[in-house]
Amino acid sequence: MKSENKKTLAELLKETRQEKNLSLARLSELTKIQIYYLEALEAGQFEKLPPLVYRVGIFKRLAKFLDLSANELIRAYGKEARESEDFHNKPVAKLKNINGFILTPKKIAIFSGIFLASLLLIYLWYQVAFLVGPPNLAINLKEDTITKQESIAITGKTDSGVNLAINGENVFVASDGNFSKDVQLADGINIVEVEAVDNFGKTSKIVRQVFRNQ
């Protein structure tokens, strides 16, 4: 029998929400989580939740608005998912697949550990993507440059591995982050836009005006 002091994830979420005088509708409005999923969580019906990658975001948003720890919510979810009756109480004979592979309790425990580890890795990746800053970006071109040349060499440095474009055209970035490209100039005012995008989608951009005076 469950200890009175040991709350399930469903009980914790429901009681915390009620302590803050939040209805399911209001919590859904604040967190942008569908009421259907909130009801499923408070009922312990994890099978109704969206795919794994989206569950991390759900727990993160709930933790923010309910003043709870996202890590603790994820751990509790992983533990209860492993211990749920639907997960453990199926007869072994019914767990046999078409190739004759049988899921024993030991194998279930291993798969459960992999599942929880994957959940935590996704959460950590989400945190890193949220906290990391935009890529470094510097170029040689000064503000309001004036030239008589038909083209101008744009050189600079950014982080290795980023996608870099100058005026919308992709530019090769060396392993040390250096890059260069000649940009053709028209008479009068020219806009030079240099943009770097990292693997997390973070962007750095520099825009300069170049005036070509014949």
Residues 73 and 126 in one domain: yes
Rounded to 5 degrees, φ, ψ at 34 are -60, 140
Residues 20 and 69: beta-carbon distance below 8 Å: no
Same domain, 23 and 100: yes
CB 8 within 8 A of CB 80: yes
Answer yes or no: do 100 and 122 share one domain: yes
CATH number at residue 170: 2.60.40.10
pTM: 0.41
Q: Among 103, 131, 159, where does a domain finish?
A: 131
Q: Using an 8 Å Cβ cutoff, are 129 and 121 in contact?
A: no
Number of H helices, E strands in the chain: 7, 8
Please determine, for residue 98, whether its predicted confidence score (pLDDT) is greater than 60.
no
Give the structural domain span for 18.
Answer: 9-131
Q: Out of 14-18, 22-26, 90-94, 152-156, pick the least confident.
A: 90-94
Instruction: Determine, yes or no, domain membership for 197.
Output: yes
CA 158/CA 178 separation, integer angstroms = 6
- Statement to judge: residues 163 and 205 lie in one domain: yes
Domain membership of residue 4 (yes or no) is no
Give the tens place of pLDDT for each residue, 3-20.
Answer: 445 788 889 999 999 999
Q: Quick one: 93 and 155 in the same domain? A: no
pLDDT digits (tens, 9 = 90+) for 158-177: 988 899 999 999 999 999 99
In a domain, 120, yes or no: yes
